[in-house]
């Protein structure tokens, strides 16, 4: 008598290293949580989808399992990578002398890359201390977007509230070189000496 083994239905616990309930980073939206792995039929083909909730944005996204890694979805950063990103904040702001529209595109690309170090560079470069001139509306928008992305990931990795994560970021920014009119003049002088 021949026995047939029943076809195993794939478990909904994990795919491509991702599992239900886990927090992940999706490049264009930041930190989200995988709620489930669903199967859906699209144009006659069965498709497995990660169902990801982004609670802060009140958004749900369905991402094909097969495309997750190629679109840049990744696990949360390790704590040592978070520490490296916080160290970046302590560095000197690197602002290119190009048109704002070009820099804004570069900052936006870094924010949407999903890479924590790139995002921290945007936070560092667009941060304004109390004694510095006001930011333009678009600078402020980009700074806040980068700060929010960075804070959400740090909060998820270190199991902190977002407010605590923002405070941690601000403390590291304060450890950086002095900013302001005099600091800007000193920085320009140093850059000219380096170029000579």
- Say what the pTM is: 0.79
Same domain, 90 and 184: yes
Same domain, 68 and 127: no
Same domain, 32 and 108: no
Predicted local confidence at residue 172, as pLDDT: 95
Convert the pLDDT of each residue in 114-159 to its tens digit: 999 999 999 999 998 877 788 899 999 999 999 999 999 999 999 9
* Domain span holding position 47: 15-75
pLDDT score of 66 more than 70: yes
The enclosing domain of 61 has a CATH number of 2.40.10.170
Same domain, 54 and 151: no
pLDDT score of 187 more than 50: no
The enclosing domain of 157 has a CATH number of 1.20.58.1290
Convert the pLDDT of each residue in 168-178 to its tens digit: 999 999 998 87
What would the DSSP string read from start to end of 79-134?
A: HHHHHHHHHHHTS-----SS-HHHHHHHHHHHHTT--HHHHHHHHHHH---TTSPP
Predicted local confidence at residue 56, as pLDDT: 82
Quote the number of domains for the chain. 2
């Amino acid at each position: 008598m021949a026995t047939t083994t029943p076809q195993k239905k794939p478990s909904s616990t994990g795919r491509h290293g991702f599992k239900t309930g886990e927090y992940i980073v999706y490049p264009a939206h930041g930190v989200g949580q995988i709620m489930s792995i669903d199967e859906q039929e699209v144009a006659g083909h069965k498709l497995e989808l990660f169902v990801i909730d982004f609670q802060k944005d009140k958004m749900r996204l369905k991402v094909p399992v097969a495309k997750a890694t190629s679109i840049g979805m990744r696990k949360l950063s390790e704590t040592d990578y978070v520490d490296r990103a916080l160290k970046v904040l302590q560095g000197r702001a690197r602002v290119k002398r190009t048109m704002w529209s070009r820099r804004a595109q570069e900052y936006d690309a870094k924010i949407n890359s999903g890479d924590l170090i790139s995002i921290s560079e945007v936070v560092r470069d667009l941060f304004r201390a109390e004694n510095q001139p006001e930011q333009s509306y678009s600078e402020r928008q980009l700074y806040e977007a980068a700060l929010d992305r960075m804070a959400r990931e740090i909060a998820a990795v270190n199991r902190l509230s977002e407010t605590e994560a923002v405070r941690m970021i601000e403390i590291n920014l304060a450890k950086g070189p002095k900013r302001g009119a005099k600091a800007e003049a000193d920085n320009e002088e140093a850059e000219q000496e380096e170029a000579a």
